[in-house]
Chain A
Amino acid sequence: MRKREEESVNLAREHLGKTELCLNEMAKTFGAYLDGRREEAKDFALQVDKAESEADNLRREIAKGLFEGAFLPLMREGFLNLVEAIDKIADEAESCCDLIMLETPDIPDDLKPSFKEVVKDSILCFQPLKEGFIHLFKDFSLTLEQVQKVNVKEAEVDQKEEELTRRVFSADLELARKILLRQLVAKICDISDRTEDAADRLEVLAIKGRI
Chain B
Amino acid sequence: MFRVLPGAYLGWGLGSNDAANIFGPPVTSGLINYRRAVVLASIFILLGAILEGRKCFPTVSGVTVLTLKSAFIATLAAGIIVNLMSWLGFPVSTSQAIIGSIVGIGLLNRMSIDLHKLTEIIICWLLTPLGAVFISYLLFIFLRYFYQRKIENLGLFNSVAKVSCVLISCYAAYNLGANNVANTTGTFVAAGLLSPFLATFIGGTSISLGVLTYSKNVIFTVGKKIAPLDPFSGLIALLSTAVTLHLFTQLGVPVSSSQAMVGAVAGVGLARGARTVNKITLFLIFISWILTLLLSLGLAYTLGFLFK
Decide if A75 is an interface residue (CB 8 Å cutoff). yes
Q: Give the 3 A-B residue pairs with the shortest CB-CB distance, closest first.
A: A73-B30, A1-B155, A209-B157
Contact B30 A1 (CB under 8 A): no
How distant is A211 from chain B, measured CB to nearest CB, in Å?
5
Residues from chain B with Cβ under 8 Å of A71 in the complex: 154, 158
Report the nearest B residue to A73, measured CB to CB. B30
Residues from chain B with Cβ under 8 Å of A211 in the complex: 144, 147-148, 230, 232-233
Decide if B78 is an interface residue (CB 8 Å cutoff). no
CA distance A138 to B162 in the complex (A): 19
The proximity string for A residues 191-211 relative to B, scoring 1 for CB distances below 8 Å and 0 otherwise, is: 000000000000001001111
Q: Which of B29, B31, B153 contacts A209 (CB 8 A)?
A: B153
Residues from chain B with Cβ under 8 Å of A95 in the complex: none
How distant is B239 from chain A, measured CB to nearest CB, in Å?
15
Name 21 interchain pairs, CB-CB below 8 A, sorted by A: A1-B155, A1-B159, A2-B158, A72-B29, A72-B161, A72-B162, A73-B29, A73-B30, A74-B29, A74-B230, A74-B231, A135-B153, A139-B153, A140-B153, A140-B154, A141-B152, A205-B154, A209-B153, A210-B148, A210-B151, A211-B230
CA distance A76 to B162 in the complex (A): 14
Task: Given A72-B162, A210-B148, output 4 extra A-B contacts at Cβ < 8 Å.
Answer: A1-B155, A1-B158, A209-B153, A211-B148
How distant is A72 from chain B, measured CB to nearest CB, in Å?
6
For window 204-239 of chain B, which residues contact chain A by CB distance below 8 Å?
230-233
Q: Which of B29, B155, B231 contacts A5 (CB 8 A)?
A: B155
How distant is A24 from chain B, measured CB to nearest CB, in Å?
27
CA distance A138 to B31 in the complex (A): 22
The proximity string for B residues 147-186 relative to A, scoring 1 for CB distances below 8 Å and 0 otherwise, is: 1100111110111011000000000000000000000000
Q: Which of A9, A72, A205 contacts B30 (CB 8 A)?
A: A72
Contact A208 B230 (CB under 8 A): yes
For window 107-141 of chain A, which residues contact chain B by CB distance below 8 Å?
135-141
Residues from chain B with Cβ under 8 Å of A5 in the complex: 155, 158
Binding site for B on A (CB under 8 A): 1-2, 5, 9, 71-76, 135-141, 205, 208-211
Report the nearest B residue to A76, measured CB to CB. B30
When A1-B159, A2-B159, A210-B148 are in contact, do A75 and B154 touch as well, CB less than 8 Å? yes
For window 225-259 of chain B, which residues contact chain A by CB distance below 8 Å?
230-233
Residues from chain A with Cβ under 8 Å of B155 in the complex: 1, 5, 9, 137
Contact A136 B154 (CB under 8 A): yes
Report the nearest A residue to B165, measured CB to CB. A72
Residues from chain B with Cβ under 8 Å of A138 in the complex: 152-153
CA distance A75 to B148 in the complex (A): 17
Contact B231 A72 (CB under 8 A): yes
For B151, B158, B233, which residue has the most chain A Cβ atoms within 10 angstroms?
B158
CA distance A209 to B160 in the complex (A): 11
CA distance A97 to B29 in the complex (A): 43
When A72-B162, A208-B230, A211-B148 are in contact, do A137 and B30 touch as well, CB less than 8 Å? no
CA distance A73 to B151 in the complex (A): 18
Residues from chain A with Cβ under 8 Å of B232 in the complex: 211
Residues from chain A with Cβ under 8 Å of B152 in the complex: 138-141
When A72-B162, A210-B148 are in contact, do A136 and B153 touch as well, CB less than 8 Å? yes
Residues from chain A with Cβ under 8 Å of B151 in the complex: 209-210
Residues from chain A with Cβ under 8 Å of B31 in the complex: 72
How distant is A114 from chain B, measured CB to nearest CB, in Å?
40
CA distance A75 to B31 in the complex (A): 11
